[in-house]
Structure 1
Amino acid sequence: MKSNVEQAVEIQDVDLDGHAQAIRLRTYRLPIKRGAVPVIFFFHGGAFVKGAPEQADTICSQLATEVQALVISVGYSLAPEFPFPAALCDGYCAAQWVVTNARLLSADVKRMAVAGHDAGGNLAAGLAAMVRDQAVFRFSAQALLAPLLDPSMTRIADLGSDINPDMYAEECASGYRAYLPFVSNRLHPYAAPIESRRLKGLPAAFIASAENDLMHVEAEKYAAELISAGVPTTVTRYGKVAHNELASRQEVLADVAAFFNRIFGATSVRS
C-alpha cells in the first residue's frame, strides 16, 4: 500500500539506453507545475547485485515533496552480469538525458544532485567524481546514506558481542567481488571513493552513518577526507540504527531534505 506521500506524487517509468543495456528510470514529482525544479538522482541499495528503482519509492517521494524536486531513481545495471563501470555509466546516461531534455522535464540543470544508500551510496559518490571530471554539467550536492566506499573492507567497525556482523560482511564482500571482478579496479577512485586522492572540487556532501553498521567507520572517514579537501560536508551518525534501516528513518529523510533545500536555495541565489 502506498503511503500518503507516495499517493501525492506523480510516479512514472521511463526506458532509456544505458551504458551496456536498456535501463529504467523511475521519476517522482509533484503534480502541480512550479516552473523549473531541482533534480535529484537516487541510487538504490542491494550490494551491487540486486534491487530495483521502486524500492526507493518512499524516500524518493518524500524528497520530491519536501524539496519540490524532480527525483529520479536509477535502475542501473546489476553485477555480476554488468560489472564496473556499467552501473556508474548508467547514472551518467541518466544525467545526460535530463540535461538534454531539461525544458521538456521542467528541470533546472543548475540545481542537480545525487544521492544513494548502501551500494547506491558508492555509485552516488563515484558519479559525483565522474561529473566533476567530465565537466559537461555539474552537481551541486551529494547525499550518501550508509555508503559502501571501501572495497578492501579493511575499515570494519567493532560492534561488540551483541551484534553478529558476519552475515552482512559476507554479503558486502560478495557484492564487491561481483561488481569489481578485476583487482585493479578495486582502487579506482570511482569504485573506491575512500581511496581517492582527488577530492577537491566535489559537490557539498551530506553523509549519514548508522551506529549499528559495520561500515560506519569508512563513511565517517570519507567525510573527514572531504572536509580536509575543502568540500563543505555534514556528517551525522544516527544512534541505534542498522545499515539497512537508515534510508527509511524519518529523521534521516528530513535531514537529507533540509540539506538539499539549503544547497539548492544557495545555488538558486548564485545562478
Structure 2
Amino acid sequence: MASLLDLEQGPRLCIEEVRIAGHVQPIVLRSYRPASDGTVLPIVLYFHGGGFTHGTLDDADIAAATIARDTPAWVVSVGYSLAPHFPFPAAPEDGYRAAQWAVAHARGQRADPQRIGVAGHDAGGNLATCVAAIARDRGDIRMSAQVLLAPLLDPSMTRVADERKVLCPDLELSECARCYRAYLPNPSQRLHPYAAPLESRRLHGLPPALIASAEHDLLHIEAEKYAAELISAGVPTEVTRHCKASHHALAAHPDALADVVAFFRKRLARTK
C-alpha cells in the first residue's frame, strides 16, 4: 500500500506498507514519512495496543501520523505477531527485527540510524521498553528515547490501583489477566525482563523515557512505579498523569501526543 495523506496542519505524509520476515512469521510494517525538504529525519518505531492478543496498525494511525508530522520523524508502525497463536517472545523479537529493518533502510528514507526512538501504547508500551532493552543488550542498535503510553508492565498484576478509587475504568483487570495468560503461557516467563519490565533489575543503560499514565486507568500505578524504578537506575525519566483520561483513550489523547512530540523533538534532535 502506498498513499499520500494530508493532515489538518503540517506536511503531507507518505504512507507505505512493507512485509518483512518476523521471528516466526512475516509481519507488516507501516511507514509514515513527511514529504522531504532535505532534512535528515530521526526514526521512531511505534507499537499499537491490544493486550498482546489483538489490535492492528490502524489502531496506531493517529499516534504514528502525529509523531511523523509534528516531530518530524520517519515513523515505522509495527504489526507484530499476536498471542495466543504467537506467544512471547514473538512480539518483542518482531519489534527488534523491525528496528533492524529500519536501520538498514534509513539511508533510502533520508533518516538517521543513530537517532532512534521507540513508543507504544498498552501492550505496545511494554514492547517499546523491552525492545529498547534488547537493543541495549545486543549492542548493534542504539536507542535514544522511549515513550510509554498507559503501558502494561507487570504480569503479576500486584501493582494496580484500588478499583474502588478509580472512576469509570475502561480496562478491567480480568481482561488484562486473560491477555497475560495468552501472551505468557509459561509461568516462568512472567519474570523475564523482556516480558516483565517491572521485575527487571537491569534498567541501567536504557534510553531516556517519557511515561504517560491516565487518571481513569487501573494500571496507572505500575506505569508510575516503573518511572520511579528507571529514575533509581539513573535513566532520565519524565512522567505525567493525564487527568480525566482513560486507558484506551490515551493512545490518541491530544495533550499526551503533544508531550510525546515535544519529548522526541528534544531527545532525537540532531547534534551539531
TM-score (norm 1): 0.94
2:31 aligned to 27, 31, 42, which one?
Answer: 27
8 Å contact kept, 2:215–2:241: yes
Within 2, Cα distance between the matches of 1:156 and 1:124? Answer: 21
8 Å contact kept, 1:6–1:62: no
Is 24-33 or 175-184 further displaced after alignment? Answer: 24-33
8 Å contact kept, 1:6–1:57: no
Matched, 1:197 2:206: no
Within 1, Cα distance between the matches of 2:147 and 2:123? Answer: 13
Matched, 1:259 2:266: no
2:52 aligned to 34, 48, 55, which one?
Answer: 48
What amino acid is the match of 1:171? Answer: E
- Structure 1 residues 166, 43: CA separation in 2 closer, same or farther (over 3 Å shift)? closer
For 1:228, the equivalent position in structure 2 comes to: 232
- Structure 1 residues 163, 23: CA separation in 2 closer, same or farther (over 3 Å shift)? same
Report how far residue 6 of structure 1 moved. Answer: 9.6
Q: How does 1:123-138 map to 2 (within 5 A)?
A: 123-138=127-142
For 1:160, the equivalent position in structure 2 comes to: 164
**Identity percentage of aligned residues:** 56
Report how far residue 58 of structure 1 moved. Answer: 1.0
Report how far residue 102 of structure 1 moved. Answer: 2.0
8 Å contact kept, 1:6–1:58: no
Instruction: Give 5+ residue unaligned stretches, structure 1.
Output: none
Q: What are the superposed Cα offsets for residues 59-85 of structure 1, whole Å, 9 maximum, x if unpaired?
A: 111100111100011000000000000
Q: How does 1:109-148 map to 2 (within 5 A)?
A: 109-148=113-152
8 Å contact kept, 1:26–1:54: no
Within 2, Cα distance between the matches of 1:172 and 1:149? Answer: 11
In the alignment of these two chains, the number of paired residues is 268
For 2:20, the equivalent position in structure 1 comes to: 16
Partner-residue secondary structure (3-state), 2:212: strand
For 1:82, the equivalent position in structure 2 comes to: 86
RMSD: 1.8
Report how far residue 98 of structure 1 moved. Answer: 1.4
8 Å contact kept, 1:42–1:120: yes
Within 1, Cα distance between the matches of 2:190 and 2:180? Answer: 9
Partner-residue secondary structure (3-state), 2:148: strand
Is 104-113 or 204-213 further displaced after alignment? Answer: 104-113
For 1:269, the equivalent position in structure 2 comes to: 271
Is 219-228 or 91-100 further displaced after alignment? Answer: 91-100
After TM superposition, what 4+ stretches of structure 1 lie above 2 angstroms from structure 2?
1-8, 32-36, 159-167
- Structure 1 residues 162, 75: CA separation in 2 closer, same or farther (over 3 Å shift)? closer
Within 2, Cα distance between the matches of 1:33 and 1:181? Answer: 48
- Structure 1 residues 31, 62: CA separation in 2 closer, same or farther (over 3 Å shift)? same
8 Å contact kept, 1:98–1:105: no
8 Å contact kept, 1:6–1:61: no
Within 1, Cα distance between the matches of 2:244 and 2:98? Answer: 35
What amino acid is the match of 1:247? Answer: A
Q: What are the superposed Cα offsets for residues 105-157 of structure 1, whole Å, 9 maximum, x if unpaired?
A: 22201100100000000111111111000000110000000000000111110
Is 9-18 or 25-34 further displaced after alignment? Answer: 25-34
8 Å contact kept, 1:157–1:216: yes
Instruction: Give 5+ residue unaligned stretches, structure 2.
Output: none
